[in-house]
Amino acid sequence: RKEVEQDPGPFNVPEGATVAFNCTYSNSASQSFFWYRQDCRKEPKLLMSVYSSGNEDGRFTAQLNRASQYISLLIRDSKLSDSATYLCVVNLPFNNDMRFGAGTRLTVKP
């Protein structure tokens, strides 16, 4: 099983749509989880951390299910500027290292 697995997409949605991305991780001892976004040929940028109780930042909602080792990201009211690749990132236990999923590509169309 891959350390971090994501649906690669692509997801093509109209403006205003709600879209959800899923991610699973293999190490049950992982403690920290993040969503990053990456624009074409740019560096990954932190979008949000994922907390155990779930958390929301504007139009973005992240959820964590430790029992299923599953993380999700929900984007409401999609904007054209949301078009990017979304990377699920999970830490390795006992050190500060992170592992990246392959990313899910989102295209929001007018």
Partner 1 sequence: EPEVTQTPSHQVTQMGQEVILRCVPISNHLYFYWYRQILGQKVEFLVSFYNNEISEKSEIFDDQFSVERPDGSNFTLKIRSTKLEDSAMYFCASSAPGDSNQPQHFGDGTRLSIL
Does the protein bind partner 1 through residue 41 (CB under 8 A)? yes
CA distances from 34 to 16, 50, 62, 91, 109 (A): 24, 5, 9, 9, 26
CA atoms within 13 A on the CB side of 65: 10
Span interacting with partner 1, options 10-18, 41-49, 56-64, 70-78, rule CB under 8 A: 41-49
Q: Which stretch binds partner 1 (CB under 8 A): 11-19, 33-41, 60-68, 71-79?
A: 33-41
Closest CA to 86 of 12, 6, 18: 6
Considering only residues 57 through 86, tell me which ones interact with partner 1, judged by CB under 8 A.
Answer: none
Binding-site ranges for partner 1 (CB under 8 A): 31-32, 34, 38, 41-46, 49, 87, 89, 91-92, 95-103
